Amino acid sequence: MNEIGEILKEARLQKGYTLDDLQQMTKIQKRYLKAIEENQLSILPGAFYAKAFIKQYADIVGLDGAELIKAHEEQVLEGQPEKPSEPLPSAINPTAKKATDFAGRVQEILPTILIVLLVFAIVLAIYFAWRQSVANKDDERLIQESETAQVIENKEAKKKDSDADKKKEEQADSKKKEKEENKKEERQDLTIKKENSTGATSNFTVAGKLSEHATFKLMGKQGETWVSITDNLGNTVSDMLTDGEEISLPINKDVTEITAIIGNAPATRMELDGKEVAYPQEAETAIRQEITFNIEQP
């Protein structure tokens, strides 16, 4: 039986990835990826990270990470401590000893500190209550003197404000309706149609009027995903996304094709010019997907 490193390396080479590519896609340091391929798993920082790194590596190159670890569990766990090592005794770890002594002194004087703070808080509360009582009496006198004049002013102001507010609301409603109608017409002009799909690869045709600042976006949701976007002009962006993060590429009048490579489709949402694009039914079970949009601009 091939060792786990040989299996992973062979799958990587079949995908055409270099170790640098894999480091960018998984965010795992290259030296750890190399150690995995050379079966030097003792270099990894513990059993938990060994399993996590191997699973992520396997998933990226198209293997079942969980099954691979299960089949080679003895090799994965060999030389990997399940728990961190015990801390150094205080006799050879002076920092730990100083921290222990300081904590002991704080614990001894803590009750005294709490009592002092409590007394100080009570004194402050009494003082502020007295000041508030004096201020309230002054406020009541001033309020009574100004209430009559304020009532008259309020009546006149309310009448003017009511007329102005009504006019503003009518203008705002008119603009909102006009904006919604324009947006509805734009969305009706734009069509995104699936041409074909094999699961791992799909092709769409985009026809109709795009907005002035149209973009193609990939957004992370419920997990990590490595993604990239490339157009026919050679522009490209890529990144590792988590929930709420996104990358985008503008769609100007010269863009006729956009290709999106998605490393974890269930954790990635597509949006073209503000319109969400659903994955084809044939591709619902594919983790890594390559999707091409042929854009027919009027």
Give how far the C-alpha of residue 191 lies from the chain's centroid of Cα atoms, to the nearest Å.
Answer: 29
What's 202's DSSP letter? E
pLDDT for position 285: 79
Give how far the C-alpha of residue 298 lies from the chain's centroid of Cα atoms, to the nearest Å.
Answer: 36
Return d(Cα 111, Cα 93) in angstroms, integer.
30
Return d(Cα 226, Cα 26) in angstroms, integer.
8
Alpha-carbon dihedral 73, 78, 81, 82, rounded to 10 degrees: 10
Provide the residue-wise pLDDT of the chain in tens; the chain has 298 residues. 578 989 999 999 999 999 999 999 999 999 999 999 998 888 888 889 989 999 999 999 999 999 999 888 888 777 565 544 333 333 324 444 344 455 556 667 887 888 889 888 998 988 988 788 777 776 677 436 666 456 446 667 676 777 788 888 888 887 888 776 665 555 557 899 999 998 789 999 999 889 988 999 999 988 899 899 999 999 999 999 999 999 999 999 899 999 999 999 999 999 999 999 999 988 777 889 999 999 997 7
Hey, what are 33's tokens? 């990826």
Return d(Cα 231, Cα 254) in angstroms, integer.
10
pLDDT for position 83: 47
Q: Which domains does the chain have, with CATH numbers?
A: 4-77 (1.10.260.40), 188-296 (no CATH)
Nearest C-alpha neighbor of 182 from the set 217, 211, 206: 211
120-159 residues labelled b (16+ CB within 10 A) or e (exposed): eeeeeeeeeeeeeeeeeeeeeeeeeeeeeeeeeeeeeeee
Return d(Cα 155, Cα 95) in angstroms, integer.
72
**Can you give the pTM of this predicted structure?**
0.40
Residue pair 11/22 in contact (Cβ under 8 Å)? The answer is no
Hey, what are 191's tokens? 């069509």
Place of tokens 């074909």: 196
Neighbour tally for 197: CB within 10 Å? 18
pLDDT for position 167: 83
pLDDT for position 82: 52
pLDDT for position 79: 55
> Strand, helix or coil at 59?
helix
Dihedral sign (CA 138, 141, 147, 148)? negative
Sort 89 into a burial class: Cβ within 10 Å, 0-12 / 13-18 / 19+. exposed
pLDDT for position 196: 92
pLDDT for position 106: 64
> Strand, helix or coil at 226?
strand
